[in-house]
Structure 1
């Protein structure tokens, strides 16, 4: 089993409930054990004119292969009404594999670590609630280093 961190986001159709439903679905994945979830955070969309996002990070221990996990996550997204009309469009649910153990994955369908996580406070700060600051990414950078370079700006931690 490997520790996997999954970024979760929603800005349509009751985003908080979308994330709660995703957490329940993640807890039911085969060959996996749900470890925990961060607090929920709100942030502005990366593109103007879209509703604010609710984001969190979940941790799993799983024996699933990376692409099998990706397929399972996309199935959860689809079950919750995800439509892939445009790359950066609003969505009911977005589930991204941020880290998969200490693996570096470069497949056409999957890049891990997530290619922009180092730029996204709405990923790093929830991740820091679940992972130690000395967590080392495959390139040798630590989570603490990423946090130091990415200020807590534009985020609102939601009450539990």
Structure 2
């Protein structure tokens, strides 16, 4: 089954609870299994700064769903958690789920771009991704470690909670 990396973000409601619930929902998708979850990170919002900081994470998911079918399911999960799509790019949201990588595929369709556009410049994506897949190689052959070298950590802050490995079945536990 394909290995997929999904970025999670939230800055509305209870972001930690939103990410925990999203992980559980992804693990329950037909033909899918959550394999690994990063720690949680706090970052300043992209775009308008008059909104709360984001809580972010990245998960590894094995799935039999095709890329656009997975996108449909992730958007369904977002909607179930109160996500309202607005014209405003980078505005506040209860839940944001983005497919970063889908195996070694490169996809450029009207609905989906994989690897996720601009992931190479987003510390809130690269650092959690490196935590669960430090040896990862992008579809174009670039090593994740090379992307990290060119992406300063900035204000990215690890939180005192992390999402445990799925087999632990206690999705969120204090760190330390």
Calculate the TM-score normalised by the size of structure 1.
0.97
The answer for the alignment partner of 1:10 in structure 2 is: 10
Give the corresponding residue for 1:121. 123
Q: Which residue matches 1:46?
A: 46
How far, CA to CA, are the matches of 1:136 and 1:23 in structure 2? 24
Give the CA deviation at 1:149.
Answer: 0.6
RMSD: 0.8
Indicate the residue corresponding to 1:30 in structure 2. Answer: 30
Q: Which residue of 1 aligns with 2:173?
A: none
Deviation readout 1:42-86 (Å, 9 max, x if unpaired): 000012111100000011011110000000000000000000122
Shift in Å, 1:132: 2.6
> What CA deviation, in whole Å up to 9, does each residue of 1:91-128 have, x standing for no partner?
00000000000000111000000011000000000001
* Equivalent-residue separation in structure 1 for 2:90 and 2:127 (angstroms): 21
Aligned pairs (5 A) from 1:134-149? 135-149=136-150
Q: CA deviation at 1:36?
A: 1.5
SS at match of 1:40: strand
TM-score normalised to structure 2 length = 0.88
SS of 1:159's partner is: strand
- Which portions of structure 1, spanning 4 or more consecutive aligned residues, are displaced by more than 6 angstroms? none
In 1, Cα distance between equivalents of 2:150 and 2:20: 30
